[in-house]
């Protein structure tokens, strides 16, 4: 018998089959520059102490912040103003800590961004100006000098009966607010050996990086010393041209290998699972038991025209127990993948909070072949 819908059925089957054929899993290969750091090419942290002036009555209370008063007196003395022995009552000055990150190979005269944070009881740094502040490194040497107008991302307003604060007005930034005065000596071009540090240490990944480099250079110049470090001997053809060597190496593709791990943030209920997480054969049941206790006190009074008696409050307690129905025991076959694990837990109708408890219970039973990290 002729079926008029048969051609449409065949066409739908062909389209469906084609849709499954063209879908391929995406490769997880990453560039070497995205998974390693070159030893010596790094930022350096700077810190300094300074004063912000020009605040609209939102600065430190000098009585509560003696370090601000001492700093103000010392600054005025350096400018030829003697204020010792006088009682200062200004409220438009705030003591601040200034922090910055010195980029690698920053040349003298380069401008860098800085962050300004209140140190005393100042309530708002908006509109303030940071005075000249030396920024020192961990060795105590001054590497930059900062100064400029502070820009805050928050604000504060207060009236007689209400106040509003948005963001953190006691913290601000100054774009290009510091000038580099001292360079950090590091001659990358003169190095004979390079050490590449993996951002996520792993034995397999370090070996793959070394193999990718050796395959590209055509010689055994790279070796994996440990899960974190790959040591590279600069070939003779690249002596004095280490930058060119790194430029070529950092574009190589390597597929990182990471351990199976489940990261749980109990505060927000976030769960992150790696693709290699596996679960052995296990049975799971999940259900909720809710107990409600309601207090409805009642007043008991004596009858009308009674010779004796008194009014008392009689407690009345109602207890209701509700157990969630329809939850069954589910069996998950062994060596299931991450997608199958998530699908199975979703089939049970569990929320992220319950899923955290289930994963911890599976781990305690020895069926979760991964490590759990609780943040």
Give residue-wise pLDDT tens across range 327-338: 555 555 556 666
Sign of the torsion formed by the C-alpha atoms of 231, 237, 239 and 242: negative
Residue 128 pLDDT greater than 70, yes or no? yes
Please tell me whether residue 149 adopts helix, strand or coil conformation. Answer: strand
| Res. 263 pLDDT band, cuts 50 70 90 | confident
Where do we find the tokens 């607010």?
177
Residues 134 and 237 in one domain: no
Whether 74 is in a domain gets the answer yes
**Token pair 């000038």 in the structure block, residue:** 179
Residue 2 lies in a domain: no
Per-residue model confidence (pLDDT) at position 161: 63
The verdict on 50 and 72 lying in the same domain is yes
Does 220 share its domain with 240? yes
Residues with Cβ within 8 Å of 13's Cβ and at least 6 positions away in sequence, in order, are: none
> Are residues 167 and 283 part of one domain?
no
Q: Is the same domain home to 197 and 69?
A: no
Better pLDDT: 303 or 68: 68
Report the 10 Å Cβ neighbour count for 362. Answer: 22
Instruction: Give the count of domains, the chain.
Output: 3
Q: Is residue 106 part of a domain?
A: yes
When the pLDDT of each residue in the chain is averaged and rounded to a whole number, the result is 80
Give the pTM. Answer: 0.68
Q: Which residues pair with 319 in a beta bridge?
A: 293
| Predicted pLDDT of residue 295 | 60
Domain that holds residue 200: 189-254
**Does 233 lie in the same domain as 167?**
no
Which residues lie below 8 Å from residue 5, measured CB to CB, with a gap of 6+? none
State whether 237 and 152 are in the same domain.
no
* Domain end among 117, 152, 180: 180
pLDDT reading at 289 higher than 80: no
How sure is the predictor about 306, in pLDDT bands with cuts at 50, 70 and 90? low
Pick from 107, 97, 171: which is nearest to 144 by CA?
107
Q: Which helix (H) or strand (E) holds 52?
A: strand 44-53
302 falls within a domain: no
Which of 11-25, 117-131, 164-178, 297-311 has the largest mean confidence? Answer: 117-131
Whether residue 347 is contained in a domain is answered as yes
User: What is the enclosing helix (H) or strand (E) of 164?
Assistant: strand 163-166
Note whether residue 308 is domain-resident.
no
Structure tokens at 193: 């050996």
Whether residue 8 lies inside any domain: the answer is no
């Amino acid at each position: 018998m002729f079926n008029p819908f048969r051609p449409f059925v065949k066409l739908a089957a062909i389209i469906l089959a084609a849709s499954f054929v063209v879908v391929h899993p995406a490769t997880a290969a990453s560039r070497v520059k995205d998974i390693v750091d070159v030893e010596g090419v790094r930022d350096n942290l700077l810190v300094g102490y300074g004063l912000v002036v020009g605040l609209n009555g939102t600065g430190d209370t000098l009585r509560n912040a003696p370090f601000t008063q001492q700093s103000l007196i010392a600054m005025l003395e350096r400018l030829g103003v003697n204020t010792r022995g006088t009682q200062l009552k200004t409220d438009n000055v705030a003591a601040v800590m200034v922090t910055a990150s010195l980029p690698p190979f920053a040349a003298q005269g380069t401008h860098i961004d800085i962050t300004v944070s209140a140190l005393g009881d100042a309530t708002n740094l908006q509109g303030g100006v940071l005075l000249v502040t030396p920024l020192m490194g961990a060795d105590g040497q001054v590497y930059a000098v900062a100064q400029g107008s502070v820009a805050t991302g928050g604000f504060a307003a207060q009236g007689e009966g209400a106040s509003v604060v948005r963001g953190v007005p006691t913290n601000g930034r100054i774009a290009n607010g510091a000038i580099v005065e001292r360079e950090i000596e590091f001659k990358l071009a003169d190095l004979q050996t390079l050490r590449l540090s993996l951002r996520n240490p792993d034995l397999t990944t370090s070996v793959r990086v070394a193999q990718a480099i050796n395959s590209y250079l055509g010689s055994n110049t790279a070796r994996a010393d440990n899960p974190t470090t790959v040591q590279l001997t600069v070939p003779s053809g690249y002596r004095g041209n280490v930058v060119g060597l790194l430029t070529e190496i950092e574009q190589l593709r390597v597929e990182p290998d990471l351990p199976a791990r489940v990261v749980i943030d109990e505060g927000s209920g976030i769960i992150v699972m790696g693709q290699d997480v596996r679960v052995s054969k296990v049975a799971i049941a999940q259900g909720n038991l809710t107990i409600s206790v309601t207090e409805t006190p009642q007043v008991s009074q004596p009858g009308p025209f009674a010779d004796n008696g008194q009014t008392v409050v009689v407690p009345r307690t109602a207890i209701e127990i509700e157990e969630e129905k329809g939850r069954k025991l589910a069996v998950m076959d062994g060596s299931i993948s991450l997608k199958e694990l998530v699908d199975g837990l979703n089939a049970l109708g569990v929320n992220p909070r319950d899923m955290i408890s289930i994963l911890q219970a599976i781990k305690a039973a020895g069926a979760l072949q991964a490590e759990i990290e609780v943040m």
